[in-house]
Chain A
Amino acid sequence: MQTLIKNGHVIDPANQVDGSFDILISDGKIEAVAPHGKIAIKDTQVVDAKGCVVAPGFCDMHVHFREPGHEYKETIETGSASAAAGGFSTVAVMPNTSPVNDNRSITELILSQARKTGLINIFPIGAITRGLKGEILSDMGELKESGCIGYSDDGRPVMNSELMRRALEYSRMFNLPCIQHSEVLDLTRGGCMNEGVVSTELGLKGMPVEAEDIMVFRDISLLHKTGGRLHVAHISSGGAVELVRQAKAKGLPVTCEVAPHHFTLTEEACRNYDTNTKMSPPLRTNEDIELIKEGLRDGTIDMIATDHAPHNLADKQVEFDNACFGIVGLETALPLTLKLVDEKVITLQKAIDLLTRQPCRVFNLDKGTLGIGKDADIVIFNPETKYVIEPEKFKSRSKNSPYKGWKVRGKVLHTFVAGKPAYSAHNE
């Protein structure tokens, strides 16, 4: 079975391709990438991508699919559908499930559910510490051998500095990154938004930005001694971006990601106590956004990752203090990232790079490329299509998004995974 994607504007940063090309998919692999009309068509299914961008399927290294344990929020099946609808063909799922993914049996369960769903590529991330308790290291070797591509206690930081030192040291043996949710809990206990004049006015307990900066600084300090690889999850503080920049300049093996909500929204969004603006790390300030944009521009920030965090209405339609942290992100990532292009922060090519080649480079995945012979994971989107974000139409089981009603541009039309359609807007 062959599929020809023709007339599109192909952007494939991994192979420095940027122009008018047709792509031939054969048996789930990229068979050929050639200028328009050069590929002879026989018994081939044709997808016309006129006016569209054709790129490697997006790769999100930070999602929560809630399975096992919290299937009322999301499952691997609904999460996969959400990812595909957002143009993502590959995701890495965080281990804060119930039970926690800190051993082979849970990793294998996740992979088995992913196979059964068969919609997108799912890579599990294993816990740094057993049960995310911050007490005992998980069996990192077993986790890697079962299929984990990194370690994280995400949702919680590894507070104990000694334990983090040992995690960085031990993970070196397996050459996988430790992903830190950078937050000094002593400074944020009870907090539910950024600390500042808005939290003061709202009478909500603030989480000072220093809680993030201090943890990033600590981990980078440890890295000098330990080696290993540190990946800073969902960076939200301008100060933390600067710390990563300095560490990179020294040649330390540190990388970081940013979530779209941390470059599109500020603490001001919390003013009406909308619990869909409650996330961790919290929405910060305009100054932080400017520094994050600078970090995206100069390459300090390696990738865009959504921190897709589905929560049911029952977890969100409550007092702000008691609401769960986080928002769904997979189905809004593309249009929010394109805002950076509109604002001339980055080019369209760079935007795609941040969603494809870069995450795969950091996590050492053979994805995010349209190279000949690679899996045909492809997204086709029309960057000019304008529409209004309607969370109730999301494929995700949860609709917790602060972007309801936003007018955006950039709509995914097709997502292929290994040559098979995982999403098509025509079927909607």
Chain B
Amino acid sequence: MLLSTKNILSTKELTKQDIQQILDTADSFKEISTRSIKKVPTLRGKTIINLFFEPSTRTRTSFEIAGKRLSADVINISGSTSSAVKGENIIDTARNLEAMAPDILVVRHQCSGVPALLSQFVDSPIINAGDGAHEHPSQALLDLLTIRSHRGNLEGLKVAIVGDITHSRVARSNIKAMQTMGMKVRVVGPPPLIPVGLESLGIEVSHNLTTAIEDVDVVMILRIQLERQNQGLLSSLREYSNYFCLTAKALAKARDDILIIHPGPVNRGIEIALDVMESPRSLILNQVTNGVAIRMALFYLLLGEGNANPN
């Protein structure tokens, strides 16, 4: 069975069956990364272009490794080496790359909507690797994979997402994907960092970390950025930490088996305390490992699973 969509632009476009299929496929790919020879010939002869207009280490590397473990040729183009610095229109850049017959474009851009825009001008499937404050679907999928592998299922789980929701594409992708999978989502943060209208999307909003995580199965901590202070959205990181840093104390009334996830990169001690980050409940490194499997699954499914056998 193929996915219901040609591109992965947002989790909003993915059905429950799509998500389940991606997670199942990723599960089956996990093992490849544990072999001594971490490579299968599945996508031999396929070309993947990572087009990253915004700096990224984790996500770009993860997509690159995922492609290479499936034997695809992976080309990385970063914002600074692209024609964008020469003033080339982004659509022209994408069309020029398309003219070299890639099989998938992986796109990251600082502006919301760019992968959707490019999808109207190129025929290759596009994977959104993060666009502005819009979405980062592969991150949400790897988060779900991480949660599912620890809980066995997703339906009915309660999740708290803590931090700067306004600027977070990870939050948006997770909110939609989690709702599709029948999970309950609560967001936690200071009011200036909570975007308007979330309640009407069925999201609970809280400004009290301790009570907001008392009954949840999963707490997701988002990175907080110092620049929000200059925008008048934060008084200081110090005060933010006083109210929203995930500490052992904040976790005192939480479930013992609560799962702690963070999309990274982490500001140690600001949004999450060091000891909590290093505790067994923290799955931050599992997420990164799962990220490779998720991206392998996306490549595999978008390039047509009938074309080859994963093993």
Residues of A within 8 A of B (CB): 195-206, 272-273, 314, 317-322
Tell me how far the C-beta of B198 lies from the nearest C-beta in chain A, rounded to whole angstroms.
Answer: 6
The CA of A131 and the CA of B195, in the complex, are separated in Å by 36
Q: List 6 A-B contacts (CB under 8 A).
A: A197-B201, A200-B198, A204-B132, A206-B196, A319-B117, A322-B111
The CA of A267 and the CA of B253, in the complex, are separated in Å by 42
Task: Verify B133–A197 contact, CB threshold 8 A.
Answer: no
Task: Verify A201–B172 contact, CB threshold 8 A.
Answer: yes
Task: Verify B196–A195 contact, CB threshold 8 A.
Answer: yes
Task: Verify A203–B133 contact, CB threshold 8 A.
Answer: yes
Task: Verify B196–A273 contact, CB threshold 8 A.
Answer: no
Is B116's beta carbon under 8 Å from chain A?
A: yes
Task: Verify A319–B196 contact, CB threshold 8 A.
Answer: no
What is the total number of residues of chain B having a CB less than 8 Å from a CB of chain A?
A: 24
| Chain A residue contacts of B111, Cβ below 8 A | 319-322
Task: Verify A204–B112 contact, CB threshold 8 A.
Answer: yes
Task: Verify A203–B112 contact, CB threshold 8 A.
Answer: yes
Smallest Cβ-Cβ distance to B203: which chain A residue: A200
Smallest Cβ-Cβ distance to A314: which chain B residue: B89
| Chain B residue contacts of A317, Cβ below 8 A | 89, 91
Task: Verify B89–A200 contact, CB threshold 8 A.
Answer: no
| Chain B residue contacts of A201, Cβ below 8 A | 12, 172, 201
| Chain A residue contacts of B195, Cβ below 8 A | 199-200
Task: Verify A203–B172 contact, CB threshold 8 A.
Answer: yes
| Chain B residue contacts of A198, Cβ below 8 A | 197
Smallest Cβ-Cβ distance to A195: which chain B residue: B196
Smallest Cβ-Cβ distance to B165: which chain A residue: A200
Q: B107-127, CB under 8 A of A: which get 1 and which 0?
A: 001011110110000000000
Task: Verify A197–B134 contact, CB threshold 8 A.
Answer: no
Task: Verify A319–B114 contact, CB threshold 8 A.
Answer: yes
Give the residue among B12, B116, B169, B198 with the most A Cβ atoms within 10 A. Answer: B116
Contact of A273 with B117 at beta-carbon distance under 8 Å, contacts A201-B172, A320-B111, A321-B111 already known: yes
Of all A-B residue pairs in the complex, the 3 with the closest CB atoms, nearest first, are A197-B197, A203-B134, A273-B113
Task: Verify A200–B197 contact, CB threshold 8 A.
Answer: yes
Task: Verify B89–A272 contact, CB threshold 8 A.
Answer: no
Tell me how far the C-beta of B166 lies from the nearest C-beta in chain A, rounded to whole angstroms.
Answer: 8
Tell me how far the C-beta of B155 lies from the nearest C-beta in chain A, rounded to whole angstroms.
Answer: 24
Smallest Cβ-Cβ distance to B12: which chain A residue: A201
Pick from A196, A197, A202, A314: contact of B113, CB under 8 Å: A202
Task: Verify A321–B91 contact, CB threshold 8 A.
Answer: no
| Chain A residue contacts of B90, Cβ below 8 A | 318-319
Smallest Cβ-Cβ distance to B197: which chain A residue: A197
The CA of A196 and the CA of B196, in the complex, are separated in Å by 6
| Chain A residue contacts of B116, Cβ below 8 A | 272-273
Is B103's beta carbon under 8 Å from chain A?
A: no
